[in-house]
Amino acid sequence: MTRRARSSSPPVPLSVAERGDGVSFPLSRRERGPGGEGGFPHDPEFPQLPVATDPAAMLEVFRTHLVPVPGRRVEIEACIPFRFRCRQATSRCVLQYTLRLVEHVGGEERRWEQSVTGVVYAADGEAERLWRESLAAEPRREIPAHWLAFEPLGFIPELAMLVEVFPYDRKLRHLRLVMGGDGGGLAAAVEPHVFAGGWEVERRLIEPLRYRTELGAALRYTVEARQRATARRATRRCFVKVYRDERGEATWQLLQRLSQPDPGRPYDVVAPLAYIGPLRTLAIAEASGTPLLHLLLAGHDPATTVRPVARAVAAFNQQDPQRVGVSRAHTRADQLVEVRRAAALVSWACPQVQLVVAAVTAALERGLPDVAAAPLHRDLKADHVFLDGERVIFIDLDSVALGDPVRDPAHLWAYLMGGVGLDAVPVARIRAAAAAFVEEYFAHVPAGWRARFSLHCAGALVEVASGIFRRQEPAWRDKVIAAVELARRALL
């Protein structure tokens, strides 16, 4: 069926934290020129990628092929590439888009954003087979009515593409229940932590903040309530994270341990509220303070801003592993696997940096030593660290493990130097922040740790380059090349 979409989706905005504006690519499905600076990487196993990665082409594709739900009229105004998982497995590519939608109802105009995923497979007929198989499982079932703008599952023959419309997710089925707000006991588990007794909930609103197809979602949960005794009204919020597997339960247990008050510790972690096992969903409090990323964007003095963060990271890395209570290891071998995977993607995306990436990877393989394992966050970024005065709060602790602690400062340094989310900040200010962070961190850890910092920085920059490509950031090719050059310089 090829009908132009004139349907609707929920009046809830899909707030996308990691958004790229995309670039323009050839329209012809089979056109595969010599490659180069202007287009997406060519791949003979996925000849539809030139179209599937073209925002203008996919806008028309979705306008034609998304089947509207009866009774609502929605226009698709724009299609924005959001995150691509290409060549992480040779059998398929997962391409996420954000659609900007508008609906006219009763003389009023409502606008929001909707996440849509396309999956293409190297094997002929695989996408169509999965589409037909999934149709038999009633894809509309359990999806709240206000989230049904389009049929949740589709197939685009011209691209041999399976299409999933949020919140439908073949591998994250419980996400639909969570988006319903009260499904699976979510409200009963979460709302007592938001409002104590004596309050009546009048309205709840769940807004997606970050969604990664098949992997998980982070949602903002807002509750409006009325106090019975005084009729006073209040609005409060928390956040819920939906997991594909049991990792949320491990994070829940970790946060319970680390959130115990400790005045002598220079950091806190975001407070856990509840874990709902049947939904594989973790509810957490809203972190106090302001993300480091926002402080840097707002022009705060970089040295003053990052030094408390450096001291907090140093303290986290030097905790007694028994106190953290994490048994999961992140070994040298694990790190090399991650770097090699990132290097392969970067080399595919930008063949002109292939030799440099190979040299960086080889340097890590030769030079990274085995060291005593210590706690590490493993996902330190400027938006995963909050500051409330001098107090530092860590969020997103799903990846905490025991490994080489120097990977943490190198990871944050690489994200700063790679300019991730910091396009509006002058380069000199970013460098000042990175330098102050490094100086302060190594003033509070054993001197021997510094010797392997450069190696970790080089590897982290290759991973940063990989992430820039996956997120399809504006001018991603130039940013990837710049990050790889920084990796090369880190080894000098």
pLDDT reported for residue 263: 84
Give the model confidence (pLDDT) of 282-301 as tens digits.
999 999 999 999 999 999 99
What's the CA gap between 321 and 405, in Å, rounded? 12
Amino acid, single-letter form, for residue 316: F
Contacts of 157 (CB under 8 A, 6+ apart): 128
Mean pLDDT score, 203-226: 94
Phi (first) and psi of residue 432, to 5 degrees: -65, -40
pTM to 2 decimal places: 0.87
Phi, psi angle pair for 183, to nearest 5°: -75, 145
- The span from the CA of 416 to the CA of 433, in Å, is 8
**Residue 132: predicted pLDDT:** 96
Is residue 380 within 8 A of residue 412, CB to CB? The reply is yes
Handedness of CA 198, 200, 201, 203 (dihedral sign): negative
**pLDDT of residue 145 exceeding 80:** yes
Q: How much is the pLDDT for 88?
A: 66
Burial class (CB in 10 A: 0-12, 13-18, 19+), 107: exposed
pLDDT at 15 over 70: no
- Please tell me the least confidently modeled range out of 39-43, 171-175, 312-316: 39-43
Share of the chain above pLDDT 90, in %: 76
Range name among 50-54, 273-277, 320-324 with the lowest pLDDT average: 320-324
Question: Is the per-residue pLDDT at 261 higher than 90?
Answer: no
Residue 310 is predicted with a pLDDT of: 98
- The mean per-residue pLDDT over the stretch 444-459 comes to 97
Q: Which two tokens stand for residue 220?
A: 């903002």
The stretch 178-197 carries a mean pLDDT of 83
pLDDT at residue 444 is higher than 50 = yes
Q: Is the pLDDT of residue 27 over 50?
A: no
211 pLDDT above the threshold of 70: yes
The residue among 60 and 16 whose pLDDT is bigger is 60
Average pLDDT over residues 416-433: 95
Q: Quick check: 379 pLDDT over 90?
A: yes
CATH architecture observed for domain 290-490: Alpha-Beta Complex (3.90)
User: Residue 18: pLDDT above 80?
Assistant: no
In the predicted model, is pLDDT for residue 2 greater than 50?
Answer: no
Q: For position 262, what pLDDT does the model report?
A: 86
pLDDT score at 106: 80
Is it the case that residue 28 has pLDDT exceeding 70? no
Interstrand relation of 391-394 and 267-269 (parallel, antiparallel or unpaired): parallel
Average pLDDT of 226-243? 94
Domain ranges in the chain are 1-166, 183-284, 290-490
Residue pLDDT, tens place only, 74-119? 899 999 999 999 876 668 999 999 999 999 888 888 899 999 999 9
Identify the CA nearest to 399 among candidates 315, 316, 468. 316
Average pLDDT score over residue span 407-427: 96
pLDDT tens column, 461-478: 999 999 999 998 889 999
Mean pLDDT (whole number) for 365-392: 95
- Residue 304 makes CB contacts below 8 A (sequence gap 6+) with none
CB 79 within 8 A of CB 70: no
Q: 12: pLDDT confidence band, cut at 50, 70 and 90?
A: very low
**Do β-strands 329-330 and 401-403 pair in parallel, antiparallel, or remain unpaired?**
parallel
Asked if residue 13 has pLDDT above 80, the reply is no
Mean pLDDT along residues 18-30: 26
Mean pLDDT of the chain: 89
